Amino acid sequence: MHSKLKIILVSPYLPAADTTGCARKIYDFIRLINKRGHQINLLSFCSQEDKSRVPLISAFCRKVYLEYLPDYRSFPVQSACFKKAVAELAQQQAADILQCENSYLRRYFPKRIGIPSVLVEHEILSASFRQRCWLTGNYLGRLILFARAVKKIFQERKWYSGFNRIIVFTDEDKKIISSTGKANSEVIPLGIDSQEYLAVAEDKKTYDLIFVGNFSHFPNEDAVLYFYRQILPLIKEELPGVTFLVAGASPSLAVKNLSRIDQQVTVTGYVRKVKGLYAQSRVFIAPLRYGTGMSFKILEALASGTAVVTTSVGARGIIPQEIVKVANGRQEFARAVITLLKSPDLRQEVSLRGRQAVQKFYDWGNLIDKYESIYYSLLHN
């Protein structure tokens, strides 16, 4: 029987159950690994807005070290707090493993950590910048994004070399990591606590279409505006009364304006209990055009028993992909949505398969085992 571990977990955002997908993933991970008896020393940046959430995550941690920021739009170049905390915990043998959520946090650690380290790479930014570059019509904007992508490639290679093992959510991300010459990556998909989500009967559905996402993440804003301008008009030709709910923190002015110019669109902004919105909606749409990693919002929709239409970008990491409808072009995406909206029986069938797949492939109970296996293999090498 393996001994219980002392883990340093480093997060870019305060782990919380009611904010972004990244923060929710880390919150659930800490809560569930603590339940197995492991101790967590949390090092995290924390926005002023998140201060009230600190006691919730502290209940699952041995110690919490926080560096406060006005918001999460910009991070400091250096962090003496993080560097000192990592060094002291490692030197005092107060930790067995360090787990870092996102590679750019590596710059806040000492050069030599002194204990085995694991990176969980939520998003490979160099790849996201490169993909976004080709969607930008403005030549100067494209040049800037390309330059940022090149800079990130060199930074990521340096950061990756500082970890003993790298965890990614999809096979596509593993290929990108491997292309940098790093062979120490492993795929563990994003997890969800599916028991927290309940399906709702068809007659309780309020909205036809829903999109959920934090709009400080650029791919989400791009997806909603692309859908509204390019795809929704095609749907309305056949279903003129279709309603569209857009939920998520920090919507830009362009996103907010959608509800002002179209009475059939509702933009809520931040919603604390977003789970209920999934269940009240007939079809979840995720017309993502770029980005890496895996979409937590799609897992939430599937766990809620909501049919999903997404692109090949949004479907990354989904196994089997048949549980979502993958459609890439404008016409194909619109037709997939129309078909589901017109057929309650098909929606019910798709919804049931999706919820069953989430319970089978993405339940945290099974995925935590894989994390523990990595920890013990590193400690016994």
Residue 1 has pLDDT above 60, yes or no: no
**Residue 210 pairs with which residues in a beta bridge?**
245, 284
DSSP assignment string, 105-126: GGGGS-S--SS-EEEE-S--HH
Return the pLDDT at 56. 95
Instruction: Give me the phi and psi of 312, to 5 degrees please.
Output: -65, -25
Cα radius of gyration (the chain): 21
Strand order across the beta sheet in which 281-286 lies: 265-269, 244-247, 207-212, 281-286, 307-310, 325-326
d(CA 123, CA 101): 10
Mean pLDDT on 84-92 = 82
Sole residue written with tokens 């895996």: 294
> What does the chain come to in residues?
381
Cβ proximity of 92 and 373 under 8 Å: no
Q: Percent of the chain scored above 70 by pLDDT?
A: 98
Mean pLDDT on 65-69 = 92
Sole residue written with tokens 């940046």: 45
Return the pLDDT at 251. 92
Return the pLDDT at 203. 64
Per-chain mean pLDDT for the chain: 90
Sole residue written with tokens 């593993």: 174
Query: pLDDT tens-digit profile of 309-344?
Result: 999 999 999 877 778 999 999 999 999 999 999 999
Cβ proximity of 192 and 363 under 8 Å: yes
Cα–Cα–Cα angle for 361, 306, 188, rounded to 5 degrees: 20
Query: pLDDT tens-digit profile of 105-117?
Result: 999 988 888 899 9
d(CA 89, CA 82): 11
Cβ proximity of 136 and 142 under 8 Å: yes
- 14 Cβ partners below 8 Å, 6+ apart? 23, 44, 45, 46, 47, 50, 53, 54, 57, 66
Cβ proximity of 295 and 310 under 8 Å: yes
Mean pLDDT on 268-296 = 90
Domains of the chain in start order, with CATH, are 6-191+364-379 (3.40.50.2000), 194-361 (3.40.50.2000)
